[in-house]
Chain A
Amino acid sequence: MIRAPRASLSLTPEPFQRMRNLNAQPDTARGPQQHYLQALAGGTLLLQRCTQCGLHQFPPRALCVHCSATEPGWVIPSGLGTVYSCSVVARRIEDGGDYNVVLVDLDEGVRLMSHVVNWPGISPPIGLRVCAQFESSPDGTRLVFTPVGGLQ
């Protein structure tokens, strides 16, 4: 069975811009994955940017996939991106109904999987401009995206 995604529309996602400055510095003694997830749990989206070559990467890694440098640095991205592709997964109404799975290209040049919330009709179009938000539930905090108007 596929784990049900947490109900996205019944919760109020926290605005990305408001959340991102609230948290203490993440524990840098941990590896990149825990560092990233810990920041995310606290409402801050972090992205790795290599201090050598200047390129971004996702998911977080213990090296720079572009130039092999060690210890890529961290930045807080704009949170803005564009829907690259979208699929609506069919699910029975009693299990929560259909939900979308999207790939979002962040303006910094990395791609990640997420949901688009606050979009009428479930299936957001490819090219939709979106902004990162945080969605909290008893299972934790996760990154989702909300439309910011317009297609690219």
Chain B
Amino acid sequence: MVAYMPGVEVPVSPDPADALASVVALRRLADRIEDAAVEQAMRAGWNWPQVAEALGVTRQAVHKKHAKRLIAAGVALRRR
């Protein structure tokens, strides 16, 4: 198994403890990036269908996951 960074090949650690911990950390990082990226996109004027399509999920799913947080943060949300 190999993870890629630009121009660098890094083999995932052969130690199962490290490999499993990297799964947990990558999921956490992905969640953080999703929260930040969705907020950034909505602040930039994207609408829910566009964000949903970019993430490869349904509009309902992305709305359910992020709408309350963004409304509370004062982000002006575009439906369409």
Bind each other? no
